[in-house]
Structure 1
Amino acid sequence: MNFPIINISELKSRALNSRLINDSFWALFGNIIAKGLALVAGIIVARFLGKDTFGEYGIIRNTLMSIAVFSTFGLGYTATKYVAEYKNSNPAFLRVILKYSRNITLFVSGTMAAALLISANYFSEIVLESSHLANPLRLVALWIVFNAVTTTQIGVLAGFGDFKGMSRINTIVGIITFIFSLSLTYYFGLNGALVALLISQIVNCWLNYRLVKSNLPQRSDSVEIDKPLLKDILKFSLPVALQEALYSLTSWLISLILIKLASFGELGLYAAAMQWNTIILFVPGILRNVILSHLSEVTNIPKRHDRVLKLTLIINFLMTFIPFLIVYFLSDFIANFYGDSFVGLADIISIAVFTAIFSSMSNVYAQAFMSKGKNWLMFIIILFRNISIILLFYLLFLEFQDLKTGSYILVISNLIITAFFFFILSLIYKLKVH
C-alpha cells in the first residue's frame, strides 16, 4: 500500500503564509504574557484579600462586567464585521463607522456609569446587603466608560487585522496590571485592587486610540453621514448587545444567588475557580475577533467559510483541551497557593476548566452565526441556555446542599448545561444556518 508523502517544508510554508494562522499567532502572543501575569496577580490578590473579601471583590467585578458588557452595545463585534467588510471594498466608509461606533459607545457607557454612581448606596444596601461596598462601587464607575471604549477599539483593530499591534499593547497592559494590582492591593486592600483595574483600563484605552488612528487611511474622502449605514449598524448591534448583556446578567445573578443561598466565601471559591476557567478560555476569547474578521470576509464564499470554521474548531479544541489536562492534574498544587481559607478549591477548579472546552467550541459557532447575520437566533439560544443554568443550579442546590458546597453545585450545573447546549448549537447551525 502506498501512503502519501507529507512534505514538511510545504506544510511549514503554507502555515507561515496563512493569514489566519499569522493573525492568530499575534493575537495570542501578547495575551499569553498578559493573561499569565493576570493569573499570577489574581492568585496573589486573592491571598492578600482572603476568601470573604475576595468574594466582595468578585461581586463588584461581576457587577461592573454586567454593566460594561451592555454599555458597549455589541459594537466590538459589529466594528470588526463592518471594518473587515469595508476596508478594501469601500474605505471611505471607515471613518463614519468609527464615528458612529464611538458616539454610541460613549453615550450608552456614560449613561450606565452615571446610573451606577447615583444608585451605589441603594445597590449596595438593598441588593448586595453590604452597605460598605457603596464607595468601592463609586470608585470604579468610570471604569465602565473606558472598558466600553476599549472594547470598541479592539473590534475596530481586529477589523483592520492589526493583531500584531494589539499584541504589543496587551503585553504592556499586562505588565502594568500586574504591578499595580500587587502594590495597590498590598497597601490599600479592596480599594487598591479596584483602582488597579481602573488604571490599567485607562492605559489600555489610550494605547488603543493611538493604534486605531495609525490604521485609518490618510485619504480625506470620507463619508460624513450615512443614515442607512447607521441603521444597519444598530440593527446588527442590538441582538449582539443583548447576547452579551444576557451573559453578564446571568453571571451576576448567579453570583448574587450564591451569596444569598450560601455566603461571600462560597462566591470567593467560585471566583477563584473561574479565574482558571478564564485562563483556559483566553485563546478562544482572543481568537473570537480573529475568527469573526476572517469569516466575515468570506461570508459569500461557502467553501472558504466552511474551511475557516472547521480549522478554528480544531484550534479551539486543542488550545483548551491541552491546558485543561495540565490544570486538572495540578489542581491540588494550584489550590495550595490560594491559602488555607480556600478549602475544596481543587475539585471546583477541575470542573470549571473542563467546562471551558465546551465553551470554547460554542464560541466558534457563535462567531459563525454572527458572520451570517443570525444574531437574533443566537440570542434566543443563549437566552434558553442561561435560564437553564440558573434553574438547574437552584434545583440542585435545594437537593444537594447538605452534601456539596454551593460553589461545587454551581460549577456542576454550568458544566451540564454548557455541554448540552454546545451540541444543540452545532445541530442548529448545520440545519438552519449552514
Structure 2
Amino acid sequence: MSNSLFALRTAIAQSAMARRFAGAAAWSVLGAVVSSGINMTLMMMVARILPQDKYGQLILLQSTLMSVSLLAGLGMSAVATRYTAALRSREPERLARILALCIRMTLLGSVIAMLSLLLWASPVATGVLSSVDLYVPVLLSAPSVLFLTLDLYQKSVLIGLESMKLVALSTLAGVLLSLPTMLFLTHQYGLEGAATALSAAAFYQVLFSYLSLRHERVRHDLSRNTAHWRGERSLLGSYALPALIAGGLVGPAHWAVQAILAGRPDGFTQIAILGIAMQWFNVIMFIPGNASKVVLPILTDSLTGNDHKGSRSLLGFSILANALIAIPLAIGMSLFATQILQLYGDSYNDSTLPFRLAVFTAAILACIGPIGTMMSAASRMWLAASTNAAWAALYVGLVYLLFGDSAAGVTQALIIAYVFHTIWTILFARVHLRQIANATAHSATQAPDK
C-alpha cells in the first residue's frame, strides 16, 4: 500500500495533467462526499419512517424516475460534456451550435417523458410497477423527470467547462433544501409525501445548476450565434445515440430487475433490501464516479490535441487512484455490514449477503471505470454501447432466468455480469493502449531533431 501511495504522489508531482486532474477532482469529490452523505442519512431516516414494503415501493419509484430521465435526455448530456471539453477553446462558434441542438433535444425528450408518465400513470403503476398503490405517487413525482433531465444536461456542460466547484456547490445547495422537505412530507403524508418531495428535490437541483450555468456561459462567452444549429444534427447518430445506449442502459437494467422482483412474493421487501445494498454500492462509486467527470474533459482535451503520452499517463493514474479508494472501502464496509444495516432498522439485520456482494461489485467497477471514460473521450461510443448492452442483457437475463427471487440472488447476478464486463473491457484497454503506444512512438520518430 505504501508503494502504491508513493507512486500516486510521484505521478501527481511529475505530471501537469495529473495536477490538473487533482485540482478539479478535489471539488468534485468534496461535493460528492458531502452531498451523498446527506442523502444517505436522509434515506436512513426515511427507511425508519416508512414500513418496509412502502420503502421498497419508494426505491422502485426512484429507480423508475431515474431510468426514464436518462432515456429522456436522448444522450445529449454526453454530447454536451464531450464537445464542450473539446471545442470550448478551439471552435467556440461550433460549440454554441452544438449546445443549441442539445438543449432543444433535451427539452423535447423530457417534456414528452413527463407527459407520458402523467397520462399513463395508472398502467405504469399497475402493469409495470406491480402495485396500484403507486398510481398517485407516479402522478406526484412525474415532474421530477423534466427537472432531472434538464439538471443532468446543465451539469454536463459545467463538467465540460471543468467548473467542478460550481457543480459541487449547486448540488450541495439542492440537497440541503431537499433534506427538510423530504422528512416533513414523508412524516406527514407517507409514500405520497415522499413522492412529492422527489419532485421538489429535483426542482431544487435544476434551479441551482441553471444559475451556475448562466454564470459560466457569460464567463466563457458561449452566447454566440446559433442560427445554424441544425447543421450539427449528424451528432445525433454518430455520438448521441450510442451514448444513450451506453449510458442509458445501466439505470434501466437496475430498474428492470427491480420490476422483476416486484412481481415475486415478498417482492417490495426484497426491493427495499436491494435498494439499501445499492445505496452502499453507490457510496463506493461516489469518488471514482465523480473523478471520472473530471477525467473525461481532460482526457478529451488531451486526445483532441494528440497528447498520447499524457492520455496514457492519466488513464493509469485514474485506475490506480480508484483502486486505492474503492478496495479498502469495500473491505471496511463488508466487515461492518451488520452495524451499517442496523442504521436502517432491525428488519434489515439479516441482509448482509446482498450488501457484501454489492460493495465488492462496486470495487470491481470502480477499478475499470476509467477505461469506459477513455472510450467516451476517444469517441468510441458504439463500442461502449455494445459492451454495456451485453452487460445489461446478461444481468437482466440472469435475474429473470435464475436469480430473480431475492435481493441476494440479484446481487449474485450483478457480480457475475460485471466479471464478464471486466474481461471484455480489459481486452479493449489492451488494444487501445497498444494503439496509443504506437501513436506515441510514431510521433517521436516524426519529431525534428533539435
Please report the TM-score for the alignment, with normalisation by the length of structure 2.
0.88
Uncovered stretches (5+) of structure 2, i.e. residues with no partner: 1-5, 436-450
Answer yes or no: is the 8 Å Cα contact 1:250–1:386 preserved in 2.
yes
Partner in structure 2 of residue 139 of structure 1? 140
CA deviation map 1:7-62 (0-9, x unaligned) = 99998866898111101111111111100000111111111112100111111111
Structure 1, unaligned runs of 5 or more: 1-5
User: What corresponds to 1:422 in structure 2?
Assistant: 422
- Partner SS, residue 346 of structure 2: coil
Structure 1 position 321 matched with structure 2 position 322? no
Distance 1:8 1:322 in 2: 16
List aligned pairs for 1:11-410, cutoff 5 A. 18-216=19-217, 217-218=220-221, 222-262=225-265, 263-299=267-303, 300-397=306-403, 406-410=406-410
Which has the larger displacement, 84-93 or 105-114? Answer: 84-93
**CA distance in structure 2 between the partners assigned to 1:396 and 1:112 by the alignment:** 32
- Residues of 2 paired with 1:42 and 1:189: CA distance? 14
- 1:224 is paired with a residue whose SS is coil
Alpha-carbon distance change, 165 to 432 in structure 1, aligned in 2, over 3 angstroms? closer
CA distance in 1, matches of 2:292, 2:7: 31
Q: Name the CA distance, whole Å, in 2 between partners of 1:317 and 1:13.
A: 19
> Helix, strand or coil for the counterpart of 2:331?
helix
Q: Which amino acid aligns with 1:348?
A: P
Is the CA contact (8 Å cut-off) linking 1:348 and 1:407 kept in structure 2? yes
Contact kept? 1:280, 1:320, Cα under 8 Å: yes
Contact preservation (8 Å) 1:50, 1:341: no
Check 1:417–1:99 CA distance in 2 against 1; reply closer, same or farther (3 A cut): same
Cα deviations by residue, 1:274-327 (Å, 9 ceiling, x for unpaired): 111111111122223212111110113221111111111112222211221221
Q: Please list the CA deviations of residues 234-269 of structure 1 after superposition, one character each: whole Å capped at 9, or x if unmatched.
A: 521111112233222211110011122341111111
* Bigger Cα displacement from structure 2, 227-236 vs 410-419: 227-236
- Structure 1 residue 357: deviation in Å? 1.0
Letter in 2 for 1:132: D
Q: Distance in 1 between matches of 2:10 and 2:393?
A: 49
Rounded to whole Å, the distance in 2 between the matches of 1:201 and 1:379 is 27
Contact 1:70/1:244 (8 A) holds in 2: no
The verdict on how the C-alpha distance between 1:352 and 1:94 changes in structure 2, with shifts beyond 3 A counting, is same
- What amino acid maps onto 2:272 in structure 1? G
Letter in structure 1 aligned against 2:37: G
Structure 1 window deviating more from structure 2 (290-299 vs 423-432): it is 423-432
Question: Comparing 92-101 with 308-317, which one deviates more in the overlay?
Answer: 92-101
> 1: distance between equivalents of 2:360 and 2:97?
43
RMSD: 2.3
